């Protein structure tokens, strides 16, 4: 794969009163996590869907080193393909986020130059996946600045990013989860054998995962106890805290959730099912983003009305239990006996037109551009500050 890097455009200062009838949106993507290229690809789809007659868009990329830069308003270089791994490139100037209440002005700072103002931002659309973006850190920055932003707040983002505490919340809410064990950094460093002994009590196969990562990075299916140590070490390359989940014999069924407008109850989508083939043991990174022929996305999923209602009920309850806002995707297992178990919730799901979240909403009657519009309106409706 080749790596295509975005280049910063020339900075332009907004004139007073310019584009007053359009909503100014800062689309933020990239970031420091392993999911950097996935975030760029998500941003490409959102940028392509935004109606420029309604929105003035400021694409803001975050490099892997954490520099915020303006990038061209062109989605094509940001698409993730087998031939292209997109990357936000560092530039001579960087975007500064306001931290003063009431100041929603983005500025560009270049060494030795007077800061240039980009204008007031109405909404931030954060599309940074993984740590330092989806985990509450970025959301906290926007809260400090009293900025309207799309998606979940600090607490829901942080807790739902950690697969351990996510399950703790679900169990406390009475939602059904599968058996699992957690191996912390301290436990592994001080007594790895004891940690392995605990994990070996699970039914095999098991799935070993970094607790705070996404896009299937660092996940290994393990069929026998002998493969546990290497799988845990691989997961620890992405996160020192590891979760091991017992494999569930069942279908993977998903449901999209959108916050209700004006404090109405959350809305749930038609269900979706992912069927993986082509030699992939599970829905790994290559199956998700590279080998399109290996994955079949079906929505509405072919399930009974009873299962459909149960998954949608669990999705809505999980959204509420986690304190989610804006959007989320809830992933469940449905066993051959019709039992529904919740696997996880994703507070910033994959958002390309072929990703399951928009596919499910399209099956429900909300197409991709309308879905983007809906999320922007939800962000504008949500009050800033303590709530």
Dist. CA 78–CA 316, nearest whole Å: 33
What confidence score (pLDDT) does residue 19 get? Answer: 52
What average pLDDT does the structure give for the chain?
89
Whether residue 68 is predicted with pLDDT greater than 80 in this model: the reply is yes
pLDDT surpasses 90 at 358: yes
Who's near 274: CB < 8 A, 6+ residues apart? 252, 254, 283, 295, 296, 297, 298, 356
- How much is the pTM? 0.87
Q: Which residues have C-beta within 8 Å of that of residue 44, sequence separation ≥ 6? A: 75, 76, 78, 79, 86, 352
In order of 183, 208, 315, 326, the CA distances from 239 in angstroms are: 11, 12, 27, 27
The enclosing H or E element of 345 equals strand 340-346
pLDDT of the residue at 386 = 60
Nearest Cα to 33, choosing from 6, 55, 63? Answer: 63
pLDDT above 70 for 294: no
Q: Which among 236, 185, 227, 175 has a CA at the least distance from the CA of 206?
A: 227
User: Is the Cβ–Cβ distance between 276 and 286 less than 8 Å?
Assistant: no
Mean pLDDT of 277-286: 52
Kindly state the tokens that stand for 298.
């079906």
- pLDDT per position as a tens digit, 167-213: 999 999 999 999 999 999 999 999 999 999 999 999 999 999 999 88
pLDDT at residue 135, as a whole number: 93
Residue 15 confidence class, pLDDT cut points 50, 70, 90: very low
The pLDDT of residue 293 is: 60
pLDDT 10s digits, 89-147? 999 899 988 888 878 888 998 888 888 888 889 999 999 988 899 999 999 999 988 89
CA-closest candidate to residue 32, choices 73, 70, 61, 3: 61
CB-count exposure of residue 22 (10 Å: 0-12, 13-18, 19+): middle
Buried b (16+ CB within 10 A) or exposed e, 74-89: ebebbbbeeebbbbbb
What residues does 182 pair with on adjacent strands? 243
270-274 mean pLDDT? 94
Over range 210-227, report the average pLDDT: 88
3-state secondary structure 159-202: HHHCHHHHHHHHHHCCCCCCCEEEECHHHHHHHHHHHHHHHCCC
Most confident of 6-20, 185-199, 343-357: 185-199
Nearest-angstrom CA–CA distance, 265 and 74 = 36
The structure tokens 């919340």 sit at: 169
Q: How far apart are the first and last CA of the chain?
A: 46
Q: What digits encode the pLDDT tens for the residues 308-340? A: 999 999 999 999 999 999 999 999 999 999 999
User: What is the rounded CA–CA span in Å between residue 171 and residue 352?
Assistant: 31
| Half-sphere exposure (Cβ direction) of 305: Cα atoms closer than 13 Å | 0
Question: How many residues are present in the chain?
Answer: 387
Q: Is residue 165 a contact partner of residue 146, using CB atoms and an 8 Å limit?
A: no
Q: How far apart are CA 74 and CA 51, in angstroms?
A: 13
φ/ψ (deg, to 5) at 105: -90, 120
Cα 269 from chain centroid (whole Å): 18
Number of helical (H) and strand (E) elements in the chain, helices listed first: 10, 18
Least reliable range by pLDDT among 32-36, 155-159, 264-268, 337-341: 32-36
pLDDT higher than 70, residue 287: no
Q: Please give the Cα distance from 175 to 317 (Å, whole number).
A: 8
Domain annotation for the chain: domains and CATH numbers: 2-149 (3.40.50.20), 160-177+248-364 (3.30.470.20), 181-246 (3.30.1490.20)
- For 30, the token pair is 């990239």
Q: Are 245 and 340 in contact (CB under 8 A)?
A: no
């Amino acid at each position: 794969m080749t790596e295509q890097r975005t280049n910063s455009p020339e900075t332009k200062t907004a004139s007073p009163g310019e584009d007053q009838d359009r909503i100014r949106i800062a689309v933020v993507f990239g970031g420091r996590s392993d999911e950097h290229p996935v975030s760029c690809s998500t941003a490409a789809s959102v940028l392509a869907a935004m109606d420029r007659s309604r929105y003035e868009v400021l694409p803001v990329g975050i490099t892997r080193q954490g520099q915020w830069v303006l990038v061209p308003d062109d989605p094509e270089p940001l698409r993730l393909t087998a031939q292209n791994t997109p990357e936000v490139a560092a530039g001579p100037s960087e975007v500064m986020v306001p931290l003063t209440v009431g100041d929603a002005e983005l500025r560009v700072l270049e060494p030795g130059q007077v800061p240039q103002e980009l204008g007031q931002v109405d909404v931030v659309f954060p599309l940074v996946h993984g740590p330092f973006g989806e985990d509450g850190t970025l959301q906290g920055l926007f809260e400090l600045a009293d900025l309207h932003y799309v998606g979940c707040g600090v607490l829901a983002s942080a807790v739902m990013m950690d697969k351990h505490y996510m399950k703790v919340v679900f169990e406390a809410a009475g939602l059904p989860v599968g058996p699992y064990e957690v191996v912390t950094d301290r436990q592994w460093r001080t007594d790895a054998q004891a940690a392995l002994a605990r994990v070996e009590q699970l039914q095999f196969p098991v799935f070993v995962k970094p607790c705070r990562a996404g896009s299937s990075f660092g996940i290994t299916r393990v069929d026998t106890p002998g493969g546990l140590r290497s799988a845990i070490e691989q997961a620890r390359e992405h996160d020192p805290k590891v979760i091991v989940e017992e494999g569930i014999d069942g279908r993977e069924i998903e449901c999209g959730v959108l916050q209700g407008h004006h404090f109405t109850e959350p809305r749930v989508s038609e269900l979706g099912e992912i069927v993986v083939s082509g030699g992939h043991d599970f829905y790994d990174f290559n199956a998700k983003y590279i080998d399109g022929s290996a994955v079949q996305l079906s929505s509405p999923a072919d399930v009974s009305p009873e299962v459909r209602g149960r998954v949608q009920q669990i999705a809505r309850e999980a959204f509420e239990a986690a304190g989610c806002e804006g959007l989320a995707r809830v992933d469940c297992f449905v066993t051959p006996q019709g039992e529904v178990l919740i696997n996880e919730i994703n507070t910033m799901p994959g958002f390309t037109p072929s990703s399951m979240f928009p596919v499910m909403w399209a099956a429900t009657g909300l197409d991709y551009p309308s879905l983007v519009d809906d999320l922007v309106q939800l962000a504008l409706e949500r009050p800033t500050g303590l709530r």
